[in-house]
Amino acid sequence: MDRIKEFLFKDIEHAGHRRTIQWLWRGILLLPIVFILLFLGLSFTDLPSVEELENPKNNEASRVLAEDGSILGRYFLENRVMVDFDELGPYLEPALVATEDERYYQHSGIDYKALARAVVKTGILRQSSSGGGSTITQQLAKLLFTEGGEGSKNIVERLFQKLQEWIIAVRLERKYTKQEIIAMYLNRYDFINGAQGIRAASENYFGGKRPHELEPQEAATLVGMLKNASLYNPLRREELVRQRRNTVLAQMKRNNYLTQEEFDRLSQLPLGIKFSRQMHDDGAAPYFRMVLKEEAKKILSQPQYAKSNGDRYDIDRDGLTFHTTINPAMQRHAEEQALIHMKKLQKEFFNHWRKLDPWTYESPSSKTEIPVELRQESLQREIRRSDRYQQLRASILLPVLQEINTKNDLTFHEDDREVARMMQELKEPGTLRELVRADLISNKLADKHQQVMKLPEFKDLETAWEKLQAKAKTEFDKPVKMRVFTYDRVRMETDTTMTPLDSIRYHKMILQIGSMSMEPQTGFVKTWVGGTNFKWFQFDHVTTHRQVGSTFKPFVYAASVDLRGISPCFEVLDQPITIAPGDGSFYLQEPWTPRNANNVYSGQFMNLYHGLANSVNTVSAYLMQELGSTEPVRNLVASMGIQKEDIPAYPSIALGAVDLTVQQMTGAYTTFGNNGVYQKPVFLTKIVDRTGRVVYEYVPDDRRAISPAANYVMLELLRKAAGGGLTGIKGPVGGKTGTTNDQTDGWFMGVTPELVVGTWVGGDARWLRFRDLGLGSGAHMAKPFFREFVKATQSDESIEWDTKRDFTRPKGDLGIELNCGSYNGNNDDVFGRQDSLFLDDQFGGGINNNPDF
C-alpha cells in the first residue's frame, strides 16, 4: 500500500513540475508578445506628436542685441538660451558621451547591452553603483515629454514611463541627428542656481564663458552635474563636485579622449567656480531694456505680428531676438560718465541741504514752490508704498477693508488714499466736496466714500486706521539695520543703521539723470541712461515728462526764422512785452507780461544770437508776439515728432512752460543735426523668432520740418548758444541749456554732426532741487555730462567719429544774413552791438511766474 501511495504521489509531483515548466515556457513565449502589444498600445496613447517632437516646448530666454550683435541682456522666466552643437566646443560632447552613454553613436535610442546590464546588476543583484540603462536620447525624452521624478512611483508606473521614454527616444532618433540630440539635451537640462541650459550654466558658473570657451575640467564639472544637479551643486558641495568631476575626467581617459598625463594634471586642479547669477537687470542699458520690453509688447500685441497659429509671442518664453541700435561702447561711456557726474553732483546736493530739510523748507522769494502740505502728503504716500507698511496694513487694516468690500464696491488702493480721504472728511467735513471742486476726484467717487462712511463697519475701519498709523509711526521711527544706496562702494550699496523714515527721505534725495543720444541722419538711438542706478531706482527718466525750460526756445526761434526769414542779427529791445486779450490769435482772457529773471531788463537792443545764448525771455516773448499765434510753433514742433496736443496753446510755451520727455526733445533736436529733416527715433530695428523668421522690422519715418537755409541759421544760433564749458570737444558743436522755476529741472540739449544728446537732471520730486541758480542751472547740472560723454566717445578708437565733419550748409546764398557786421553795416562787428556773451541762464533766463500758465 505504501509503495502504491509513493508511486501515485511521485507521479503527481512529476505532473506538477511539468505544469510549472509548461507555464514558464508559455510565459517566456508570451512575454515578448505582451511587451510588443504593450509597446504598440503605448504608442497610441498621449505621447508627443511629430510636430511636438520638431518643436519641443522650452522656456527659452529672449535676447536683446546691440547694433554689433553683442548681447545687452535677456528677458526670461528661465535663463535659457539655445545653442547649436557647433557652439559646444571641443570638450562637452566627449565628456557627455564618455560618462553618460559610451555606445551613443552605435544605438538608435535604446542601448540593449546597457539595459541588460541594468536589469541584471541593478534589478536582480541590487548593485546601485552599476549604473542605469538610459541613453542620452532617453534622458532627453524624460526632460522633454515625461515626468522626471521617479521616487514616488510604484514599479508599474515606472515601467510604463520607461516604455514611454523608449518610444519617444526612438522617435527622436528618427527626427534628429546625434549632434542635434546632444545639443537639445544640454540646452534643456536645468543646472540650477538660475542656470537653465548649458549656455547659462557656462556663463553663470565660469565667469561669463561661452560653452566653446570651457576648459576640459570645466566641461567635466558641468557634465558631472547631469547626474543630479541638486546633489552636485558647485555652490554648496565643492569637494563632492570635484570628486564627480574627476569621475567624468576618468571616463574621458578611459574612452581615449584624454591622455594619462592630461588626466593627472586636470584632476588636481581646483573647481575654479566664478559664479555670477544673471538677472533681468544685469548687463548694459537696463533702463533701455525695460522700456524696450514694453514697446515690444505693444508691437507683438498687434495681429500682424502674431505667430503662424495666431497666438501672441511671449517675450519671456519664446526665445525671440531683439535687434537694437544701441552702440555698446557709447553706452558704456554714457553710463560711466553719468556715474562720475552724478556722484559729484550728489555730494554738492547733500552739502547744500546739510542744515535744512527739503520737506519743510520754504523759500522767502519763490512763488511757484510746492506747498509744504503737499510735500508731507507725498512723503506719507512713500511710506504707505513701502514693504514695511504693507506688511502692517495686511494684518491690521486689510481684514476690515475686505469686510467693507462685501457691502460697497469702492476700490481701495494699497497706498490707502481712499481711507485717508475719509478720515480727513471725518475731521474736516466738506473735504470730499473740495476735492470734487478741484477736479481731483469725481462726484461718483465722492458718493462712494460717503456711502462707506455710513456703514456700521466704518467704526471698525476708523479704529483699525488709528491703530495702523500709530504702529507705523513707531516702526518707521525705530532705527534698524538696513542696506542703502551709496556712491562710495563699488557695488553702490552699503549696510548701515537708520530709521525706515530716514531711509525713505534719503533715497528720495538721490538726484536722477535721464539722457538719450541719437544719430541725426538715421534716427538710431545710440545710448540710453534712464537713472542713477537701476537696482535701486527703476523709474526711467528718459520717458518721464518734465518741464523743459529754455530748451524749448529754439523751436520759437526756428518758427520765426523759417516762416518770417528773420536774421539772427535782428535786434529786439530788451523791455517788458505784453500780449493783451484780443492780440493776434492767442485768445487770452488776461494780459500776459513775462518777466526776465530777477526782473532785470537792460533797456538795450540785443540780437537773436544774444537772446538765445542768454535765454532772454523778452526776446522769446517778442518773437511769439510777432508770430501772432501759438499755431506756427505748435505745428513746427509737431513736424519735429512731438505730438501737437502735448504743446499747450498758450504764449508761455515761448519760455518753455511745457512738460516733455528727454526722448521727445532729443528726437526733435535731431532735426537740427539732419539738415532740417526729422527722423523718428528708432531703437528696435527687428524682431526675429527662434526659427529665424523675421517677425517685425522697422520702417524709416522721416519728413522735412525746417527748410535747409533756416535750419543752418538755427545751427549757427545753437553754436553761439552752446557758449563755454565745452572745452575738449572736437569738431562743431551747438546746444541749449534749460533751467526751470526754482531750479527743479536742469537740461542740456547738445548737437553735433555725429550725435545729438539730450540730458535732464533733477530730483524725482520737484521740491528736491538746488536753491540757487549757480548750482541748479542746466549749465551746472546737465551740460558737464554732455561734455565728458562726447569727449570720452571721441577718444575711443573703437568708435567711428569723424571730428572733421561739419553741419550741412545749403549751396548758394542762404537768403538770411548771419554776419551781424554786414547786417549793421559794420564789417568788423560780427555779432552786433553787444560786446560779450553773458553766461548762460545767468541773465534773463528762467520761466515767468505769471499764473496764466
How many structural domains are present in the chain?
A: 4
Torsion of CA 271, 274, 276, 277, to 10 degrees: -10
- Is position 222 within any domain? yes
- Is position 179 within any domain? yes
Set of cell numbers at residue 694? 523675421
Instruction: Identify the three-state secondary structure at position 810.
Output: coil
How many other β-carbons are positioned within 10 Å of the β-carbon of residue 6?
Answer: 10
One domain, residues 463 and 539: no
Interhelix angle 92-100/178-188, nearest 10 degrees: 90
Let me know the angle formed at the C-alpha of 128 by 122 and 130, rounded to the nearest 5 degrees: 70
One domain, residues 9 and 87: no
Q: How far apart are CA 495 and CA 486, in angstroms?
A: 10
pLDDT value, residue 839? 39
pLDDT value, residue 365? 83
Set of cell numbers at residue 851? 499764473
Q: Look at residues 266, 288, 317 and tell me which one is the last residue of a structural domain.
A: 266
Q: Is 676 left (phi over 0), alpha (psi -120 to 50) or beta?
A: left
pLDDT value, residue 149? 47
One domain, residues 773 and 670: yes
- Is position 673 within any domain? yes
Distance of CA 780 to the CA centre of its chain: 28
Q: Are 720 and 612 in contact (CB under 8 A)?
A: yes
- Is position 317 within any domain? no
* Block mean pLDDT (10 aa), the chain, length 853: 52 59 62 52 51 61 93 82 90 94 83 58 47 77 64 55 75 88 91 89 90 95 93 89 95 94 95 78 86 95 92 91 97 98 97 94 88 91 91 91 87 90 93 91 92 92 95 95 93 93 96 98 97 93 96 97 95 94 92 87 94 94 96 97 96 96 98 96 96 93 95 97 92 96 95 98 94 94 98 96 94 91 68 42 39 29
One domain, residues 640 and 685: yes
- pTM of the predicted protein model: 0.78
One domain, residues 753 and 642: yes
How many other β-carbons are positioned within 10 Å of the β-carbon of residue 740?
Answer: 28
- Tell me which amino acid residue 756 is: V
- Is position 97 within any domain? yes
Q: How far apart are CA 518 and CA 523, in angstroms?
A: 6
DSSP 581-645: TTSTT---SS-B----GGG----SEEEHHHHHHTT-HHHHHHHHHHHTSSHHHHHHHHHTTS-GG
Supply φ then ψ for residue 520, to 5 degrees.
-65, -30
How many other β-carbons are positioned within 10 Å of the β-carbon of residue 118?
Answer: 17
DSSP class of residue 743?
G
One domain, residues 639 and 785: yes
**Which CATH number fits the domain that encloses residue 607?**
3.40.710.10
pLDDT value, residue 32? 56
- Is position 614 within any domain? yes
Q: Look at residues 250, 266, 282 and tell me which one is the last residue of a structural domain.
A: 266
One domain, residues 465 and 369: yes
Nearest to 673 by CA among 523, 557, 514: 523
Q: How far apart are CA 342 and CA 609, in angstroms?
A: 31
One domain, residues 428 and 524: no
One domain, residues 634 and 721: yes
- Is position 578 within any domain? yes
One domain, residues 26 and 165: no
Q: How far apart are CA 461 and CA 468, in angstroms?
A: 10
Set of cell numbers at residue 533? 542706478
Nearest to 273 by CA among 241, 313, 228: 241
One domain, residues 424 and 538: no
Q: Look at residues 266, 285, 320 and tell me which one is the last residue of a structural domain.
A: 266
One domain, residues 570 and 449: no
Where would I find the beta strands (DSSP E) of 231-358? 321-324
Contacts of 368 (CB under 8 A, 6+ apart): 741, 742, 849
Domain assignment of residue 7, given as a range: 2-44
- Is position 303 within any domain? no
Q: How far apart are CA 305 and CA 628, in angstroms?
A: 46
Q: How far apart are CA 312 and CA 305, in angstroms?
A: 8
Where would I find the beta strands (DSSP E) of 400-489? 480-485
Torsion of CA 590, 595, 599, 605, to 10 degrees: -130
- Cα distances from 412 to residues 408, 415, 416, 599, in angstroms, run 11, 8, 7, 48
Distance of CA 627 to the CA centre of its chain: 42
R_g of the chain, CA atoms, integer Å = 37
